[in-house]
């Protein structure tokens, strides 16, 4: 439960499931540092709409940084050390992201988390992310750290079958969501982003998902 504005210690972590923790506003103090770190990443590897194995364009634009990047095409979903557009290695994972991910994971109870992949998703109003599991990583023992920037979103946290009931979780600018352990393979997604203009990010939501993929 988020505490009132009278609480000098601010919002406290919220345990949403046994190994799923919401850290409200955890990244707020680092937003400008994160955006500065993302600019060279986006210059080297701009957002793009990848194709699903079935040949459809994904609604959410994406890019990656780190030693591995998540890709999708006719061959399927997987991690690759190179950007399929440029043929070059993905941009390095900025120190600002490594630091934030490690601290957020530790705050949620996962020590010594060192990601090697960061998927950067770019949402516009109306775009959504269908329910799915993150199963392309080599080690399911590592947590997932998700950082929200820009327009608010409603995150769907489900069970271990696609048909299981989902819980709706409101995510705001600067929130960090961490899940792992026995929750690592829960289905999850994002409802369509509602129209709006964020004072810092404009008409968009950017989500940074940090994982240990290799």
Q: Give the pLDDT band (50/70/90) at residue 9.
A: low
Rounded CA separation 171/124 (Å): 15
Q: What is the pTM of this model?
A: 0.94
**What gap in Å lies between CA 191 and CA 155, rounded to an integer?**
7
CA dihedral of residues 145, 106, 185, 98 (deg, nearest 10): 30
- Model confidence pLDDT, tens digit, residues 182-212: 999 999 999 999 999 999 999 999 999 999 9
Q: Is pLDDT above 90 for 4?
A: no
Question: Any residues with CB less than 8 A from the CB of 112 and at least 6 apart, and which?
Answer: 102
Q: Are 210 and 117 in contact (CB under 8 A)?
A: yes
Q: Region 49-76: what's the mean pLDDT? A: 96
Helix pair angle (95-107, 31-44), 10° resolution: 130
Closest Cα to residue 122, out of 180, 50, 67? 50
Q: What is the CATH number of domain 14-211?
A: 2.60.120.590
Q: What is the pLDDT of residue 11?
A: 84
| Residue 160 confidence (pLDDT) above 60 | yes
Q: Per-residue DSSP letters for 93-156? A: PPHHHHHHHHHHHHHTT-TT---SEEEEEEE-TT--EEEE----SS-TTS-EEEEEEES-EEEE
Contact 190, 122 (CB under 8 A): no
The pLDDT mean for the chain works out to 95
Per-position b or e across 140-161, b if 16+ CB within 10 A of its CB: eebbbbbbbbbbebebbbbeee
Residue 42 has φ and ψ, to the nearest 5°, of -70, -30
């Amino acid at each position: 439960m988020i505490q009132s504005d009278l609480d000098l210690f601010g919002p406290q972590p919220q345990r949403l499931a046994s190994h799923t923790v919401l850290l409200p506003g955890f990244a707020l103090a680092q937003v400008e540092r994160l955006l500065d770190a993302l600019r060279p990443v986006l210059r080297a590897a701009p957002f793009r709409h990848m194709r699903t194995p079935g040949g459809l364009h994904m609604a959410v634009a994406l890019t990656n940084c780190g030693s591995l990047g998540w890709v999708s095409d006719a061959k399927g979903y997987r991690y690759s050390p190179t950007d399929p557009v440029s043929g070059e290695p993905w941009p390095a994972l900025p120190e600002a992201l490594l630091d934030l991910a490690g601290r957020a994971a530790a705050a949620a109870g996962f020590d010594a988390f060192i990601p090697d992949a960061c998927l950067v998703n770019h949402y516009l109003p109306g775009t959504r992310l269908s329910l799915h599991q993150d199963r392309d990583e080599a080690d399911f023992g590592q947590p997932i750290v998700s950082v929200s920037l820009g327009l608010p979103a409603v995150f769907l946290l489900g069970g271990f079958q696609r048909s299981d009931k989902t819980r709706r979780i409101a995510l705001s600018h600067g929130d960090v969501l961490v899940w792992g352990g026995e929750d690592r393979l829960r289905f999850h997604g994002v409802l369509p982003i509602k129209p709006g203009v964020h004072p810092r990010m404009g008409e968009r939501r950017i989500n940074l998902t940090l994982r240990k993929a290799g």
